[in-house]
Amino acid sequence: MNLTKLLKPDHASVVRAAHDEATCAGALRYAPRADGPIRQSVVLFFWVVLGVLAAPFVLFKRLLTGRGL
Partner 1 sequence: MTNESQNVFEVLVIGSGPAGVSSAKALVERGFRVTLLDIGFDDPKAREAIPDLPFSKLRAEDPNQTSYFVGQEAEGVPKGDVKVGAHLTPPRRFVHHRSEELLPSRVRGATLMQSTALGGLGAAWGAGACTYLPEELTAMGLPIDEMNSAYRAVSSWIGVSAPESGAMRWHCGSALSQAQPALEPDDLARSIMSRYDRNKDHFSKLGFDIGLPSMAVLTRDLDSRCANPYYDMDFYGDSRKSVFRPRYVLDNLKKNKNFTYLSSRVCLSYLERDGVIEVRVRNLGTGTEEVLYCGQLILAAGAINSARTVFESMSLDKKAGFSIQTRLLCNPYHYLVGLQLDSFGRELSDRRHSLAQLFGIYRSAGQRTHESAFLAFYSYRSLLHFKLSKEFPFPVAIGQKIAALLSGGLSIVGVHHSDSFETAIDYRWTKNALAPGIIELSYDKHAETQRRRDQKVNEEIHFIQKTLRRLGVFPLSRVAPGPGASIHYAGSLPIGSWTDVDGRVLKSKRVYVVDSSTWTYLPAKGLTLSIMANAWRIAQKLPRSP
Residues forming contacts to partner 1 in the complex (CB under 8 A) are 3-9, 11, 13-19, 21-24, 27-28, 30-33, 35, 37-38, 40-41, 43-44, 47
Residue 38 or 52: which CB sits closer to partner 1?
A: 38
Query: Minimum distance from CB of 57 to partner 1 (Å)?
Result: 11
Nearer to partner 1, 37 or 66 (CB): 37
Give the separation between CA 19 and CA 60, rounded to whole angstroms: 36
1-15: b (≥16 Cβ within 10 Å) or e:
eeeeeeeeeeeeeee
Rounded CA-CA distance 38/46 in Å is 12
- The residue among 7 and 69 lying less far from partner 1, judged by its C-beta, is 7
